Structure formats: C-alpha cells, structure tokens
A and B are shown apart, each in its own frame.
Chain A
Amino acid sequence: MMKESSELSVKPIKCRNLWHVYPGGFTALKETFLEISAGEVVGIVGQNGSGKTTLVKHFNGLLKPSSGAVLINGIDTAEESVFNLSRHAGYVFQNPNHQLFATSVLSELQFGPKNLGLPEDEILARVEETTELFQLHAIIDDHPLRLSFPLRKIVAIASIHAMHPSILILDEPTTGQDHNGAAMVRKLIQQLRSEGKTVVLVSHDMALIAEVADRVVAMWAAEVIDSGTPREIFSNSTTLKKTMLQPPQATQLSQRLHGRVLPQITLTVDETIDALAQVADT
C-alpha cells in the first residue's frame, strides 16, 4: 500500500474490476482489469460496440464506473470532476467538430490553459510551444471550421496538448484523414511518446497501431480479451478470429510467407522490406 502511493510507482491508468452498465441495463464493459504505464503508447482495438470508447471515457471521468474503480495518476475518478481529471488526461474526440468552437486556432489553443487558471505568460508560452510542435504558424489566425478536416483534427489534438495532460486519449485520430494527414498524426504520436506522454489510441487503423503502439489491448463483447505487443496480438490467430480484426497488409503478407520464405512475422512496410531483402541476400 505504502509503495503504491509513492510518486514513482503510481500507474497513470489503472482499472480494477471495472464494469459499466448504461441506463436501461446494457452492459458495455465487464470485469476489466487494465494497467497502463507511464510513457506507454497503447492501442485499443475491436469492432464498434466492443466497449472501446466506453472504456476510455472512464479515463477522464466522462463516464464513472458502475462498479469497480478507475485510478488516474492515483486519483479515484469516482471522486473527481471531469474538469480536474482533464488536467491529467486529455480526451481528443473522434469528430473535431464536437470539440472546436473558438473563432480562431489561436483562441482555441488559449482556451484550455486559460480555463486551468494559468498566468498570462504561461498561457503565452504554452500556445507558442504548441504552435511550434504542431506546426500551426500558417493557420494560427484561421477559423477552425474553415480548415480542411485533417488540419481541424490536428488543431483538436493541439488544443488538448496545450493543457499539458500527462495522458492523451485519441479516439480514431486517423479516421477521415488522407495520406498526408495520417502521416502527420503518426509523427505527432511519436513526438508525444518522446516527450514521455502516455498515449491511449482507440483505432481501427491497424497500420497505425502496428507502427506506433507498444501494446495492443483487444476488446470483444464488452471485455478485454487479449493484451500484448502488436507482434503478439497480430500473430495470435485466436484473437484475430474472435475479434474479426485484420492486421496491416504487410503483416498479412508476412503471415502468408511465414515458414516458407520468412522466418518471422513483420509489422510494418520497412520491416518487411528488410526481412525480404535479407532472404534475397542469402
């Protein structure tokens, strides 16, 4: 008990036998035990209705457990307001239109820090830092709703980042993105990782998960049914069959060639190129 409360061993996210039953009796989440470590990038995968969004909405208190407990940086979410929890865990919605409401990108970025009651110079510093990190100089005075969808989504992530939460929850960050937008999101997640942020990624984009996630949590019918590295999950035919998820095409190719041509399962395009080049050399 003593050890658990010390600063170092507090896990950013801890679910202890978490259940969620919606009014009307639908059980959206059952018997969930999950721990996420500081600096981890975790992908939550599963079909719609499997409980992914219900799970992550507990991480900033948007939903409270029906039973069990969720601890965010050691704080029991049942006893804390969404506002206070949002200092710890920032939630970026799937649809940026549900989140953006200011009349310029600049005021969108200022909004969170202002609400936290930060002093003027700190607000300024955060806006500057965020503008730099997300490369928003060229659009800083634009109206968010006049931006293209991919950029709007980047602004939505940036405005949450400006609040400096140690945990970021990204709900389908690459949905509706084109190739360049998706590449931008991928780079951002890598950057957040290098800053030591804990990132929770809800996504159907298996190529994204394969590339950026340290760990994949697979859900099916309101339960976490598997958790492991992307390589473990994408090689586990039982999990794939049960969740009806398809690994990225590069991984599928390596699975088809595994044992005959390739000695291992690969996750990304670059890794597959390396593996096949090695085969060609020998």
Chain B
Amino acid sequence: MTAEIISIEGLTYQYALTDKPALLDINLSVDRGEYLAIVGPCGAGKTTLALSMNGIVPHMMMGEMRGRVLVDGRDTTQGPVREMARTVGMVFDNPEFQLSQSSVLSEMALGLENIGVPREDMLQRITEALEIVGLSGFEERSPMALSGGQQQRLAIGAALVMYPQVLVLDEPTSNLDPIGKEEVFSVAARLNEEHEITIVIVEHEVEVVASYADRVIIMDGGSIVSSGGPSAVFTDVDNLRRVGVRPPQVTEIASGLAKRGCTLTTIPVTLDEAEAEFSDWA
C-alpha cells in the first residue's frame, strides 16, 4: 500500500466553450489519513480539482483533460464514477442538490442499493454511519424537514455508508448558520481523527482551516501557488494578499504588529497560538 490515496499528475482541464483551462498542470498527492484544505478565490479551479478526485471531471463534464488522476492506484478515466465513489465520497455546498429521497433511511440506502449490498449489511452500515454523524433516531424523518447542518451531516452520512477512504467536501458549510458550520466541521474532524478517513475540503473560512488542516494548498488561476502546513502557508501574508486570500484574523493582527516593529516569537495562525503569544505581553 502506497502512502498516497490520491495522486494527480500533470492535470490540465478545460471546460467546453471556455477560452482558458480551469486547471493548469496540477501535481498533487494526498496522503492516506491526511486532512487537506484547498483555499483560493472564486474561479481559481478549486471545485474542478475536487471533482477530478472521483472522476466527475472528466466523466460527467464536457471538456478536455490532459494528465491523470489515480485514486488508490486506479486511473479515474478507467472506471465509472460510481466505482470511484466507493473510494471517494463527495459532499457539495448545497445539500438540497444531493438529497433526493423522502426519508433519511432511504437517502442513506440509495448508494448501497446501487452497488447491491445485502439488506442486513445495509441496515448495519446505515446505523453505524448515522451514529457517526449524530443522526441516530432520524431514520423516518424527511430530509427536507432537517436543519441545514443536519442535511449536510446526512449528505456526509450518505457518503460514509459506502465506506469511502476519502471524503471530498466542497464548501460544505457555505449555506449553513454558525451552529450548522460547527456541526459539519466537527464531524469531519472526527472522521479524520477517529476513523482515519482522508479529508479534502474546499473552504473559505481560513480560521477553521488553520485549526483543522494538516496541509493547506492555495489555488489561483488554475494552479497551486502555495502548499504547506497552515503555519507556513498562512503566515506568508503578502503572498496571500496577492492571491486574494484573507489570512486568519489572529495572523493579520500579528503580522500588523510585526510591521510596526513589535517583536514576536511566532506568528500565530490559531486563536490558541495567539493567546499563548500575547499572554506574556502584560
């Protein structure tokens, strides 16, 4: 077993009827068990990159692709999306687009029915997944009667029953209220820590990214312009500004102070780090 679960080699992708590629020569490996965040301005190629990870790009889009994407060693162009979806689960920004069934139970069962899992196994997998996303007891409820945070947790649950190795979340909280956001981020963190599921998340909220991600990549104009741990990536404030990505507020504060000549031992990227840094300023 190799360390990489996803390996992207020289990926260039251009949608039909557009005049420039959405992705330009992307090289990226995602390690098993990693929590990877993709950050960048609108139009940077983040969603296209996310969709390439289970073959939706190129299978279900009109466009032209060069390079290749390997998921657990298999080329995504060599099998249908439903095959890849067993390894890579996807959760999109708008839960209403991916929930189609009349009850939580049938929503959870849909993917399993499609791959022919026996009924008793199905129930066991569903019970397990609902437990993880905190929706036990909601089996008979209509997905449309759930709150936004619950709907997104259901979408995650529906991906989990397939026993994926990777969960790709594309701005999963952009339509949620603060409680809903917190619910989704903590479920994703738990899946990563306790269940060793690889997380790839496209996310604008840099404060959240800084506290959860192992690695952050910054995209701009179809390319990866920076990659590294949250500390390395977010403390390069000038680079972020050029791309149009806001650093976490605590990082902005620290770098503003450094520019004014204050001496800092570290540039923090999380609230805890900032508290530690400034606590002995008294």
Interface contact A250-B174, CB-CB below 8 Å? no
Contacts of A252 in B (CB 8 A): 271
Given A181-B42, A260-B282, CB of A269 within 8 Å of CB of B178: no
Q: How far is the CA of A269 from the CA of B253 in the complex (A)?
A: 6
Interface contact B279-A260, CB-CB below 8 Å? yes
CB 8 Å contact bits of A46-62 with B (1 = contact, 0 = none): 01110000000000000
How big is chain B's contact interface, by range?
35 or more
Q: Looking at the complex, which one of A148, A175, A204, A277 makes contact with B257 (CB distance below 8 Å)?
A: A277
A230 interface contact, C-beta 8 A: no
Interface contact A179-B244, CB-CB below 8 Å? yes
Q: Which residue of B lies closest to A281 (CB)?
A: B262
Interface contact A269-B41, CB-CB below 8 Å? no
B230 interface contact, C-beta 8 A: no
Given A180-B244, A257-B275, CB of A48 within 8 Å of CB of B180: yes
Which residues from 268 to 282 on chain A have a C-beta closer than 8 Å to any C-beta of chain B?
A: 269-270, 272-273, 276-277, 279-280
Interface contact B177-A178, CB-CB below 8 Å? no
Contacts of B179 in A (CB 8 A): 47, 244
Given A178-B42, A249-B248, A253-B275, CB of A261 within 8 Å of CB of B175: no
Q: Which residue of A lies closest to B46 (CB)?
A: A178
Interface contact B278-A269, CB-CB below 8 Å? no
Q: Looking at the complex, which one of A182, A248, A280 makes contact with B281 (CB distance below 8 Å)?
A: A280
Q: How far is the CA of A62 from the CA of B96 in the complex (A)?
A: 24
A207 interface contact, C-beta 8 A: yes
A245 interface contact, C-beta 8 A: yes
Q: List the 4 shortest-distance A-B pairs measured between CB atoms, nearest first.
A: A249-B249, A273-B256, A48-B177, A179-B246
List 11 additional A-B contacts (Cβ < 8 Å) besides A204-B178, A253-B275.
A49-B147, A176-B171, A176-B174, A178-B41, A249-B207, A249-B250, A252-B271, A257-B279, A261-B278, A269-B256, A276-B262
